[in-house]
Structure 1
């Protein structure tokens, strides 16, 4: 078959030069050991206009944080290998990623849990089940952006 316009169409496309477009959305690392919770969180973050990368344990999260340097981390505290508090400490010890704000989303809902999590270095805390509008407010604040104007 002959495709006479194939070369012209390819050259005029936005992908010319072999370079894919650059994604300028903020990158958020979502960490939760429950696959359903992680999937829900990544879908919500996508609706908020964020790129999202996910991890199901603390070691994978630490590796992704170092490799990808996300703009924000959304973190479950109860993880199977190292808990979220230990992960926050390890992130804070790394000068390359210590500046990344960390938002805790956890089933730990007692006042002393909240205080312990915030004192460990998280910039915000939400207990599960969380309110999506609260998450939107926290994320937009820490990404220095306008509210995402997504209706739920």
Structure 2
């Protein structure tokens, strides 16, 4: 049998006639290494997030303004402006100032970590990072109900 309006009718009844809205949290992932960015994208997708990617500071700033993400996962070593400067620019924009930023970086010295956190990041992970550690930070920052997968240790 053919039910041409079945899906449309179901969607209308579930959403009171309103079109379906993607309520997944939006995470901006910023890394100039395409493999690292792809890995972050896949992990965030598994967590149930909508991932927006950027490979440099200027495109990250533009994406943040356009999409107003719920969280930013940021590499500090970027080719155009470094992550510390990018954090400063984000914190100066009234529309972006409250977006939490997590640094995921190869900078692993204690003084680097302290400098990154003082710049305004709410979390810091050194590469290579543990997925469980990233998950813990993301779960703390985003609504736990919105995340799909839980990684076990």
Report the TM-score, using the length of structure 2 for normalisation: 0.87
- Structure 1 residues 127, 7: CA separation in 2 closer, same or farther (over 3 Å shift)? same
Greater shift in the superposed pair: 67-76 or 9-18: 9-18
Aligned to 1:96: 95
Give the unaligned 5+ runs of structure 1. none
The one of the two structures with greater contact order (alpha-carbon pairs below 8 A, sep at least 6) is: 2
Larger Rg: 1
How far apart are 1:22 and its partner, in Å?
1.1
Q: Is the 8 A contact 1:38 1:54 kept in 2?
A: yes
User: RMSD over aligned Cα, in angstroms?
Assistant: 2.2
Instruction: Deviation per CA, 1:65-119: give whole Å up to 9, x if none.
Output: 0110000000000000001000000000000110000000000000000000000
Q: Is the 8 A contact 1:48 1:150 kept in 2?
A: no
Match of 2:5, SS? helix
The count of corresponding residues between Structure 1 and Structure 2 is 148
- Structure 1 residues 24, 8: CA separation in 2 closer, same or farther (over 3 Å shift)? closer
Tell me how far apart the structure 2 counterparts of residues 48 and 7 of structure 1 sit (CA, whole Å). 33
Tell me how far apart the structure 2 counterparts of residues 55 and 100 of structure 1 sit (CA, whole Å). 16
Report the TM-score, using the length of structure 1 for normalisation: 0.88
Q: Is the 8 A contact 1:30 1:73 kept in 2?
A: yes
